[in-house]
Structure 1
Amino acid sequence: MTSSRWQKSSFSAAHDDCVEVRTVQTLVQLRESDDGDVILRATTTAVTALLDAIKAGELDHHA
């Protein structure tokens, strides 16, 4: 499995507590930088659908 480097947002460059992301073949992997042993894996299709739903406000909860 060919893997790429973990990346984090430039906004969190000075902090160690952030989410890191990388792609490995057809998967997107996410992890907390301070707990690198726990990795969430999803297909690029699933991550794209999640981001589209977030942008569209479909996951907003209103009281």
Structure 2
Amino acid sequence: MNSSSWQKSSYSASNNECVEVRARGEVVELRESDEPGTILGADPATFLNLLESIKASGFDQHA
């Protein structure tokens, strides 16, 4: 991810109910689209660990 613009999953609906992510320098930032003022930052390794944990837990499955 080389862009500082917010990205959302292609699985997200067209409304503003999704998690968005962007790379900003050496930090990966996450936010909820309906709460754009609250931003969580992590280094790339921590972000990768989060994604791997989500996939391993099954939380990435759609209802």
Question: How many residues of Structure 1 are paired with residues of Structure 2 in the alignment?
Answer: 55
The TM-score, its normalising length taken from structure 1, stands at 0.73
The TM-score, its normalising length taken from structure 2, stands at 0.73
RMSD: 1.6
Where does structure 1 lack aligned partners over 5 or more consecutive residues?
Answer: 58-63
Cα 1:48–1:17 change in 2 (3 A) is: same
Task: Indicate the percent of aligned positions where both proteins have the same amino acid.
Answer: 51
- State the partner residue of 1:7: 7
Where does structure 2 lack aligned partners over 5 or more consecutive residues?
Answer: 58-63
Letter in 2 for 1:38: T
**Bigger-Rg structure (1/2):** 1
